[in-house]
Structure 1
């Protein structure tokens, strides 16, 4: 028991040495290299050009010591240690759904029915498309359903961005998102094995789908940062750039519910939720509904969503599950504005 506790406490730090994790030193290092490139590429727009200026730009003290960033640090440690250990078994759903399909359709053909290069490429592409589509769908419903949005607020309440902001997630959201991706990926892989035989496999690197690995290494961690890196417009209609995800975190109303993709932008493009910036935009991060500055206490981040979600259900059960989240956010903004004026 004691060893399990120590293992859970060590886990957050071990992630930095795990190449399959997006926060590994490898992926952080490539993001750092890209950030340095951006600094020198845009140096004409700023006065400072020395190494000290570079360090101050890469590691802005006001960001690193912001209350929002400090809340990120706490949530990262808790979510990846004690809390993560509690619900870890719930997240391992791919084998479960794979077995469900096998029970229904029978076991896949033993041995490589077709292990050709074309089949492996197909496996790789389908697996990552299903995985990414499931993540997008989960993200979409957390934005569109008011009840779920109360839990997703935790992530969007960040007022500054660091790579650890990616772990500023409420456990309820992590569980639901993992269940969705586990279901879709498990079913997809099982169906592929039914068709091609159990020999067909995706290309991997360090045990991670190679497309996901390449995406992690391609400056993925800049999406939760102040470093603006955008792609050509046509590329941003296919792949999500760091700049597009920063826009997703903007408190500006025109940016609400935009760019919900993880790897591919095609889901947002097809759903009409794509926002492809043509040039750098000045962004303020946060909720933009009058609640900014009130979510930087870890206790609040874990408990307030339950209280808010319950209040929504109590007030209007149907609206909490089927209503318009954009309207709910606008009402909250008006309520907080009216309260501020009265005070």
Structure 2
């Protein structure tokens, strides 16, 4: 017979192992209830349980082929390629920690500053901001580079947004995210180790806990949902679900807007922030012939399609460059 301590240990182990999915579900349910109550007098006519269910779990969306692809990619990415990003984060933190320690030894700086609670909070926020900047840079590059856009199309091809859509990504995008985040984070982490002497375990714990807290505070799970939740004036600082939903609009004018992950300050600085009017976003996806054919509603195409299209684009660019080199007099006419 199991003792109370054994039961508690089993429950604790389960919660810690599945904390991401549990928090995602909890945020989704609570966010859906909040959005329903908020919109009762605005857009929802059926003020009853049936009306709530239709709003919260629209059958046409949750049982669409787009959502099925989201779920499949969720398991594939989470249990395979996400580990690459995870180990990349550990590697960059390890290198930064070693660089900070080496710098301290080289400069003979042995008197580390004792970090109090307030200092630790400030340092956590600094590391989070640089990590978020890395995510923004990666996202920006994937939108502005026509070759990388072919890989990022996989994410934008979702015609219905669910929390699983966050994992609707190509492995190339995962690797680019890890690279940009690592590059942006290495300098501040090195300096933090140099001045305060934190270990790699402490640094990883600080980064993970801060990322989780900000994801909860900014309702990160609800970014990929149909709940039109805005933060009002705080949209100037954080990316609200409504801002990210605009980013997924089928309208091309919205694609290069609101590219921040959790902070919108990068978008306001880069001039890519956009606050849509009510009901401006009607559909999601990339539109055009690719949506009509359902290219990205096939799991194999989500992985191989971007490689095929990117390779074709590179070959066309190489052929065009070759023609310009062989016949420079024609360059002006092309």
Question: How does the TM-score come out when normalised to structure 1?
Answer: 0.78
Who is 1:127 aligned against?
Answer: 127
Match of 1:189 in 2: 189
CA drift at 1:87 = 7.3
- 3-state SS of paired residue (2:313): helix
The Cα of 1:220 is off from its aligned counterpart by: 2.0
Q: Please state how far the C-alpha of 1:36 moved relative to its aligned partner.
A: 0.9
Rate the CA distance shift 1:300–1:212 in 2: closer, same or farther, 3 A: same
Mean CA deviation greater in 256-265 or 42-51: 42-51
Q: Aligned runs of 1:1-343 on 2, under 5 Å?
A: 18-19=18-19, 21=20, 24-44=21-41, 45-84=43-82, 89-90=87-88, 92-99=90-97, 101-102=99-100, 105-106=103-104, 113-198=113-198, 208-210=208-210, 212-232=212-232, 234-292=233-291, 293-317=294-318
TM-score (normalised: structure 2): 0.80
Distance 1:216-1:151 versus aligned 2 partners, 3 A rule: same
Report the 3-state secondary structure (helix = DSSP H, G, I; strand = E; otherwise coil) of the residue aligned with 2:93: helix
Deviations 1:229-273 (A, max 9, x none): 1121x3111110000000001111221200000111010001000
- Alpha carbons of structure 1 residues 84 and 74: separation in structure 2 relative to 1, 3 Å: same
**Count of aligned pairs:** 302
Larger fraction in helix: 2
Larger radius of gyration: 2
C-alpha distance in structure 1 between counterparts of 2:115 and 2:183, whole Å: 25
Shift of 1:192: 1.6
Q: CA RMSD in A?
A: 3.0
CA distance 1:149–1:31, change in 2 (3 Å): same
Structure-2 separation of matches of 1:86 and 1:25: 23
